[in-house]
Amino acid sequence: MTVNERVQRLERLLEVARNLSTELDYDTFLQSIISVASELTSSEVASILEYDEAGNQLRFAAVPWFHRSAIQGVRVPLDESIAGWVYRHAKPLVIQDVKGDERYYSEVDNAAEFQTHSILAVPLLIKGQPVGVLEAVNKTNRAHYTGEDVTILETLASQSALVMHNAALQERAERICDEIARLDQMKNDFISIASHELRTPLGLILGHSTFLREVIGEQHRDQLDTIIRNAARLKEIIENLSNMDNFESGAARIRRRRVSIPRLVEEVIVSFQNDAYRSQISLHTDVGQDNLLVEGDAGKIAIALSNLVKNAVTFTREGGHVFIAAEPIPGYVKVSVIDDGIGIPSEDLPHIFERFYQVESHLTRRHGGMGLGLSVAKAMIEMHGGRIWAESAEGKGSRFIFLLPLDSAQADAAQRVFDA
């Protein structure tokens, strides 16, 4: 081969390599590789085999279209085949006359009604590990395969290996995503069924024990209080689960009414006065003079606020302070729940609104809860077109803030005052 011819071949290889890298479709890419491989090595045909883990053998990933129906289903064993040898040894192999070679596996020729004379096979390698084989078959005019043919085939093989590897990774990623989606669905179904099925018997337990507490004498009142307290706690957990489930499934709807935030704050904290008193925590509010109104679902806003206040009381030491403030800011009502409790480590702060996230491991933690309170609060606020976030310093305390869009009439009035 003249120098000029060699330069032309290399230029062609370069051109092919450039074009191939823009080829997106996987099968088209492999087909292009084999047609370029036979063209540049002056071979009759070329094919790509890939390792099939399930059968521990090789299968054809790309063959010339005229052989496709005949050999697509043929499997090539790793033992007693030329491709198998190349795969196992991760080395190129040139055989000038396959008939005299005991590794020649005639099944493929038989199926394709084809006659192989000479063969050049190179491994497809990813980080030195074989993943398949690229073969060129029957050099024209019974010529011998050269070192340059080997180099060309190896160049094409390295491109193919990379693309095959990426395709395999992508397939794996898709499978994992599907599996995650399936597990997530199972978990959601479980939460949905469990919270629904637990609600009725729990309601009966609470109803009957409350009734018994009224009619039974002093003697058993403490026991009944314990039953009622714990059943109420269970009810709270189930409510959180089912709120989250409704939100996730899109079943949650907000019934918009005018809601006075100062009134809602006052109503919510009443239910925490006893807990705060028991823990010697001072619970204060500053909800201003203005009657701040939002158009929203009072029940859902109350759930969000209750979850924040409950956490503030739970994670504040004896003698600490919890403070709830509401104030108008342009277009919004800003509600802050501030405590001087244990605070949240900075590495946990970005995750606390995730479902089931808890700072302390559930095995070592001293407080109850399922790591759902904040994700429920977030869902409730975001359903109203609001925003919620937290600021905290470990050992010093936390500040949870949410914004809710102001009632539209009030927002317009505020804007007029601002404009004037």
Q: Which of 95, 155, 105, 157 is nearest to 131 (CA)?
A: 157
Asked whether position 341 contacts ligand ADP by CB under 6 A, the answer is: yes
Give the total of residues touching ligand ADP (CB under 6 A): 22
Stretch that binds ligand ADP, among 19-27, 50-58, 129-137, 335-343 (CB under 6 A): 335-343
- For the bound state, the minimum distance from the C-beta of residue 303 to ligand ADP, rounded and expressed in Å, comes to 12
- For the bound state, the minimum distance from the C-beta of residue 372 to ligand ADP, rounded and expressed in Å, comes to 6
- DSSP conformation class of 17: H
Which residue bears the tokens 């697509």? 72
Q: What are phi and psi of 391, to 5 degrees?
A: -130, 145
Comparing CB distances to ligand ADP, the nearer of 371 and 405 is 371
Comparing CB distances to ligand ADP, the nearer of 45 and 372 is 372
Comparing CB distances to ligand ADP, the nearer of 6 and 233 is 233
Asked whether position 306 contacts ligand ADP by CB under 6 A, the answer is: no
- For the bound state, the minimum distance from the C-beta of residue 297 to ligand ADP, rounded and expressed in Å, comes to 20
Comparing CB distances to ligand ADP, the nearer of 135 and 236 is 236
Task: Report d(CA 307, CA 296) in Å as an integer.
Answer: 18
Stretch that binds ligand ADP, among 82-90, 94-102, 224-232, 372-380 (CB under 6 A): 372-380
- For the bound state, the minimum distance from the C-beta of residue 185 to ligand ADP, rounded and expressed in Å, comes to 22
Options 90, 357, 385, 387; binder of ligand ADP; rule CB under 6 A:
357
Asked if 278 and 229 touch (Cβ cutoff 8 Å), the reply is no
Q: Which of 220, 224, 219 is nearest to 209 (CA)?
A: 224
Comparing CB distances to ligand ADP, the nearer of 89 and 317 is 317
3-class secondary-structure state, position 334: strand
Comparing CB distances to ligand ADP, the nearer of 49 and 344 is 344
Residue partners of 26: CB distance under 8 A and separation at least 6: 163, 167
Asked whether position 33 contacts ligand ADP by CB under 6 A, the answer is: no
Cα 26-31-32 angle, rounded to 5 deg:
95
Task: Report d(CA 74, CA 110) in Å as an integer.
Answer: 10
- For the bound state, the minimum distance from the C-beta of residue 388 to ligand ADP, rounded and expressed in Å, comes to 12
Task: Report d(CA 359, CA 371) in Å as an integer.
Answer: 9
- For the bound state, the minimum distance from the C-beta of residue 310 to ligand ADP, rounded and expressed in Å, comes to 7
Asked if 261 and 333 touch (Cβ cutoff 8 Å), the reply is yes
* Pairing label, strands 282-286, 321-329: parallel
Asked whether position 272 contacts ligand ADP by CB under 6 A, the answer is: no
Q: What are phi and psi of 131, to 5 degrees?
A: -125, -10
> Which uninterrupted H or E stretch holds 136?
strand 129-139
Stretch that binds ligand ADP, among 110-118, 134-142, 189-197, 366-374 (CB under 6 A): 366-374
Asked whether position 311 contacts ligand ADP by CB under 6 A, the answer is: yes
Stretch that binds ligand ADP, among 4-12, 248-256, 283-291, 311-319 (CB under 6 A): 311-319
* Region of 250 on the Ramachandran plot (φ > 0 left; ψ -120 to 50 alpha; else beta): left
- For the bound state, the minimum distance from the C-beta of residue 249 to ligand ADP, rounded and expressed in Å, comes to 20
> Which uninterrupted H or E stretch holds 147?
helix 147-215
How many residues belong to the chain?
Answer: 420
Asked whether position 369 contacts ligand ADP by CB under 6 A, the answer is: yes
Task: Report d(CA 177, CA 172) in Å as an integer.
Answer: 9
Options 83, 372, 381, 411; binder of ligand ADP; rule CB under 6 A:
372
Options 276, 342, 379, 403; binder of ligand ADP; rule CB under 6 A:
342
Asked whether position 325 contacts ligand ADP by CB under 6 A, the answer is: no
Asked whether position 264 contacts ligand ADP by CB under 6 A, the answer is: no
Compute the 3-state secondary structure of the chain and give helix, strand, coil in percent, each to the nearest 5.
55, 20, 25
Task: Report d(CA 147, CA 164) in Å as an integer.
Answer: 25
Binding mask 389-408 for ligand ADP (x = CB under 6 A): ---------x----------
The binding site for ligand ADP (CB under 6 A) comprises 307, 311-312, 315, 339, 341-344, 352, 357-360, 369-375, 398
